[in-house]
Structure formats: structure tokens, C-alpha cells
Structure 1
Amino acid sequence: MTFDEQGPRAQGLLAFSESSNPQSAHSRDQTEAFSKKQWSELPFTEQQIKADLAYQVQVISEEGSR
């Protein structure tokens, strides 16, 4: 986490990767990135989050509550 003229900048990764399936492309990609100190830029502000092409809103509620 750093701050510049445009606001906060966040970088990070999951050091243990996202998949426990050794056949998956995601079973070691983050571990390898961690070992190379290749952090990913993480969206932090609402504008950065909404700019993500995969951005979507999901509303979750419990049945009977309002």
C-alpha cells in the first residue's frame, strides 16, 4: 500500500495460489509470482473497482428478512 498524487495504490497476491489441483494453471502461478516479487495491482477505490471488466454486483439476502 502506497499513496501518490492519484490516491492509494495497492499491490498484493495470494502466496499459496488459488487452486489445490496440480493440473490447474492456478495451482502455482501466485507462488511463482511471489518468489519473483511480481505483485499484482489491486483495485482500491470505487472507481478502480468498477473499471474492472469482470465487475458485477450481487445482492444476497436471507429468506424472510427485509
Structure 2
Amino acid sequence: MPEKDLEAYIEELKEISEKISQEDIKLADAVTLYKKGVTAADKASKLLKKYESELEIIKESEMD
């Protein structure tokens, strides 16, 4: 299964946020969505760190 891009994780987090904000959500569903959100946020964070690292490499190579 291919890795999602950053935009897909952000969209997933928005959808989770909207669902978890509903007043009639059951606790079990909220917990499940929270776990999915934590996973999506972690993956998005790792992608951002990867991109930052790649940009640092580019920046350093331009300084040489």
C-alpha cells in the first residue's frame, strides 16, 4: 500500500476532527477516531521531518 502524501494526512485529520466534534458521537467511536488521528498526525510529522531533511541537504549542497 503506497504511503499517503502530506495533504492526504491533513485531510484525514480534518475529517477526524469534524467527526469527533459531533455532539452525538459515542465514546467508543471517539476513542477510535482519536487513535486514527494520532496515527495520522505521527505519519504527517514524519513526512515533514523527511522533507525538512531533504531541504537541508539541498541547502547544504548549494553552499558548496
Greater relative contact order (Cα 8 A, min sep 6): structure 1 or 2? 2
User: Is TM-score (shorter-chain normalized) higher than 0.5?
Assistant: no
Structure with a larger share of its residues in strand: 1
TM-score by length of 1: 0.28
TM-score by length of 2: 0.29
